């Protein structure tokens, strides 16, 4: 059974949402196979705050590059940590680009995209990002609260490190984790972008 067929079999079930997920997985599988032995496909998209990037494997979205971050660094990280067999394939990443664009325009509150967690370490880091992925639009938690949700209430610094290394920002919304006071805290795309995202969702601490 091919990798895509295995994914599709796992997703099979009632409802349009399952069919949608299978269709998305097919698109990403095609992206990864677009250029012979290519294993990663990537593309860019324009947002109101700059150009962002997104990459996928046959399993799903593997990385999101925040607006105005160097594309060369984004691609180099994928080449080093996943595979040097990378192809730029914007047409094959239309689903992801569309959903990300809708989010940045304020027209989307949740994502319907399969994810590839390859770049996320196992253990506490993965638990932190799993908990973060469950935060709804406009919700915020403090670093201490997300650490407690992930099973270790004293590990707020480690939770911050896990969030800082998040390879799937926006889709796994680490911008929704803030400091206990009014300061939103650090962010990979810079504090201004974090404030912009929180303002977009109406959740900027005041």
Which active-site residues does the annotation give?
174
Q: Which helix (H) or strand (E) holds 63?
A: strand 60-65
- Residue 54: phi, psi to the nearest 5? -150, 145
What's the rounded Cα separation, in Å, for the pair 84 and 181? 43
3-state secondary structure 190-206: CHHHHHHHHHHCCCCCC
- Residue 86: phi, psi to the nearest 5? -120, 145
Strand-strand pairing, 86-88 and 60-65: unpaired
Strand-strand pairing, 177-178 and 141-142: parallel
CB atoms within 10 A of CB 206: 4
- Distances in whole angstroms, Cα of residue 182 to Cα of each of 115, 197, 204: 32, 15, 8
Cβ contact 203:194 at 8 Å: no
């Amino acid at each position: 059974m091919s990798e895509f067929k295995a994914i599709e079999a796992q997703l099979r079930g009632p409802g349009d949402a399952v069919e949608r997920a299978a269709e998305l997985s097919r698109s990403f599988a095609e992206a990864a196979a677009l250029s012979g032995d290519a294993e990663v496909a990537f593309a860019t998209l324009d947002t109101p705050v700059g150009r962002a990037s997104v990459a996928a494997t046959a399993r799903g979205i593997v990385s999101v590059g925040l607006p105005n971050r160097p594309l060369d660094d984004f691609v180099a990280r994928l080449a080093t940590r996943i595979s040097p067999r990378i192809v730029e394939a914007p047409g094959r990443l239309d689903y992801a680009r569309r959903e990300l664009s809708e989010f940045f325009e304020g027209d989307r509150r949740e994502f319907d995209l399969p994810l590839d967690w390859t770049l996320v370490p196992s253990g506490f880091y993965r638990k932190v990002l799993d908990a973060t992925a469950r935060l709804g639009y406009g919700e915020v938690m403090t670093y201490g609260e997300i650490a407690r949700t992930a099973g270790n209430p004293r590990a707020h610094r480690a939770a911050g490190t896990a969030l800082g290394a998040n390879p799937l920002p926006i889709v796994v919304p680490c911008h929704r984790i803030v400091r206990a006071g009014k300061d939103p805290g650090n962010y990979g795309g810079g504090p201004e972008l974090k404030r912009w995202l929180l303002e977009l969702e109406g959740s900027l601490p005041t």
